[in-house]
Amino acid sequence: MTLIELTSADQLKSFLEKNIVSVVTFSAHWCGPCKASKPQLEALAKSSSKVPISIVHESDIGDLIHTYNVKAFPTYIFFHKGTEVQRVQGVNLKGLQDMLAAHADKAGASLPETGGNTLGGSHNVAEARALRLAKLEANVGVSSAKNVAEAESTKDESTPMDIEDTKPAVTESTLPTDEKDTTKDDVMTDAENVVEPDKKSPVDDLDPESIKSLTEEMGFSLLRAQKGLLFSTGKTVESAVEWLMEHQDDVDIDDPIPENAGATASSYKCKVTGKIFSKIADLELYANRTGYTDFEESTESVKPRTAEEKAAKILEIKELLKAKREEREEAEKVDHTEQEKRRRFMGKEVAQTREQMEKAERKREAQGRKREKIEQKKERERIRAELEKDKRERIANKGKLKGRLGVDGYAPSAIQYQNTESSGDEPAETAAQRPKAGSSANAAKIDEY
């Protein structure tokens, strides 16, 4: 089987309803460890013949993820008839394998995808082997005798030649600038204590009897027999035959076995910088800090530090923290000085602005008082002019005023109190308005005049 990609909540529900047993991997696109462990998850899904394994990202199913109470990425949950049985949190493929092995019996008996009879069917061992041999001979088109001869001729060449890795090594010049600065002072990596794995052929630990049974009795070539035992899950003859039946049409089925194939991973390695991490927590912290997401499992083991090395490392970390603290304090001092300068400058600006505003206010008040004085002076001059005009008019008219109070301004027409007869040339209107001789003026009769 292959790793099944689920892209919606409906697909997830359909997957759980369709399969009696299944494993769902809850992942996230932004999760570095999820991306790093996906190739190993695909390989595990490919080797799992009874339990289908799927993967779904939290952004594709929305709020449905809260139904399964997922608290970490990745999280592997084993379902039986849609009900959770067990879960494994974090990149723990060994725990996932143990979980699959512990609950694989819930899936019941499984048939090979290419057809045929089950290993525990009605046939005995000899009949089952004969049937499988006949099927393989029909597919491959090679006789049993020819395969046995090929096995005999290749017995002395069981170990493939080492293939030199052509991948260029990562040097300091190829690293980003921020990675150059942190390479020497990185306290999370254990690369300096890496122990190289033993240069041991991966086929040395295979069971000779199983190889002999596959080559001489079933007719497989030595290389294919070794691959079947090496890459199958059970490491038995039956599991090797199932693996060979599933991969017999692969393009690289007859390629040499790579070095360290089938070895157990004991650490994690960054493909970009080559740093080795013994713990997944260190890997996650490094991935979050640097942004690297391309990691792989490694067979290189990390040698534990001695007490002296731990003490030296702790001292080194303390010195580093002290230097960082001093650097931060210096930066804070400089920042405090700059803030004080800005505060003083702003204080001066505010004082100058306030002084200018007060000066402008005083100037406006002085201009207002000056304007009032000018207006008062003009009013006094106007009144004096009116009085002078009335005085001249009285002199010219023998104490009489001809003016009247009108809308044009101050032009009083005073009531004349004369006992003399009006002259002959006086206008009739004026003579009619003058009170009769011998009468006394009365303010209550002012409307008569």
**Mean pLDDT (whole number) for 393-398:** 84
In this structure, of 142-156, 202-216, 322-336, 382-396, the range with the lowest mean pLDDT score is 142-156
pTM for the full predicted model: 0.29
Whether 270 is a known active-site residue: answer: no
Residues 32-61: tens digit of each pLDDT: 888 888 999 998 888 888 899 999 999 999
Specify the range with the lowest mean pLDDT, choosing from 1-15, 33-47, 151-165.
151-165
What pLDDT does residue 448 have? 54
Beta strand pairing status for 53-57 and 21-27? parallel
Q: Which of 24, 34, 45, 91 is catalytic?
A: 34
Q: Write down the pLDDT at residue 27.
A: 92
pLDDT for 231: 81
Summary count for the chain: helices (H), strands (E): 13, 10
Phi/psi of residue 177, nearest 5 degrees = -60, -45
Q: Is 31 a catalytic residue?
A: yes
Structure tokens that stand for 288 in this block? 């979050």
Residue 105 has pLDDT above 50, yes or no: yes
pLDDT tier at 259, thresholds 50, 70, 90? low
> Chain-wide mean pLDDT for the chain?
75
pLDDT digits (tens, 9 = 90+) for 334-379: 999 999 999 999 999 999 999 999 999 999 999 999 999 999 999 9
For 97, other C-beta atoms within 10 Å of its C-beta total: 15
Alpha helices of 278-435 — where are they, by DSSP H? 280-290, 307-396, 428-433
Residue 77 to residue 95: CA distance in whole angstroms: 11
For 301-339, what is each residue's pLDDT tens digit?
Answer: 777 778 888 899 899 999 999 999 999 999 999 999 999
Contact between 206 and 226 under an 8 Å Cβ cutoff? The reply is yes
Give the position of tokens 């101050």.
410
State the catalytic residue, choosing from 6, 21, 23, 31.
31
